[in-house]
Amino acid sequence: MKTVNTLLCLLCVSVPVLASDDAAVQPPEPYCKWEMVNYSIPEPLCGLKGDAANGQKVMLDSARGNCLACHQLPVDGVEAYGTIAPPLAGIANRLSEAQLRLRVVDTRHLNPNSIMPGFYRDPSLINRPAVKYAGRTFLSAQNVEDVIAYLETLK
């Protein structure tokens, strides 16, 4: 009987552990406000430092950046499935880091009709009907900084 109780108890404990593993039920991370200066964002989001290798992964991942839906990237063996946006090869020669940040964060400050998603737009301005996404930006601040770090390598 003692063994059965122990087993039951283990099961009881495992339920909340499993639930907390599900990213969808985690509260959203706090949103860091950013400031636009001369059509750019000079300060890294939340003061974070980006990781270029992870930035490339985020951009290629259709569940995260999904940049290939619209942009070609200079990555061997990778084909964009949409070409309605400018190719990003050499982008760091054309735009500064601060200019790149505004384009990824919320490019509608440059072109109100842009079809490019604002990946770190103020979540209070985004209508997200699914409760699990309410209050969330499309990418985390860290992932945006990772993407910027990768774009900076495209020279």
Binding footprint of ligand HEC on the chain (CB under 6 A): 59, 65-67, 69-71, 84-86, 91, 94, 100, 103-104, 107, 111, 114-117, 119, 147, 151
- Smallest gap from Cβ 113 to ligand HEC, in A, equals 8
Residues in the chain: 155
* Residues contacting 74, CB < 8 A, separation 6+: 87, 88, 89, 154
Q: CB-wise, 13 or 80, nearer to ligand HEC?
A: 80
Q: By C-beta, is 6 or 111 nearer to ligand HEC? A: 111
Q: Which is nearer to ligand HEC, 44 or 65 (CB)?
A: 65
Q: CB of 122: closest distance to ligand HEC in angstroms?
A: 17
Q: For the chain, percent helix, then strand, then coil, each to nearest 5?
A: 45, 0, 55
Q: Which is nearer to ligand HEC, 8 or 122 (CB)?
A: 122
Nearer of residues 5 and 101 to ligand HEC, judged by Cβ: 101
Q: How far is the CB of 131 from ligand HEC (least distance, A)?
A: 24
| Residue 10 Cβ vs ligand HEC, minimum distance, rounded to whole Å | 42
Smallest separation (angstroms) from ligand HEC to the CB of 45: 14
Q: Calculate the dihedral angle through the C-alpha atoms of 111, 115, 119, 121, rounding to the nearest 10 degrees.
A: 50
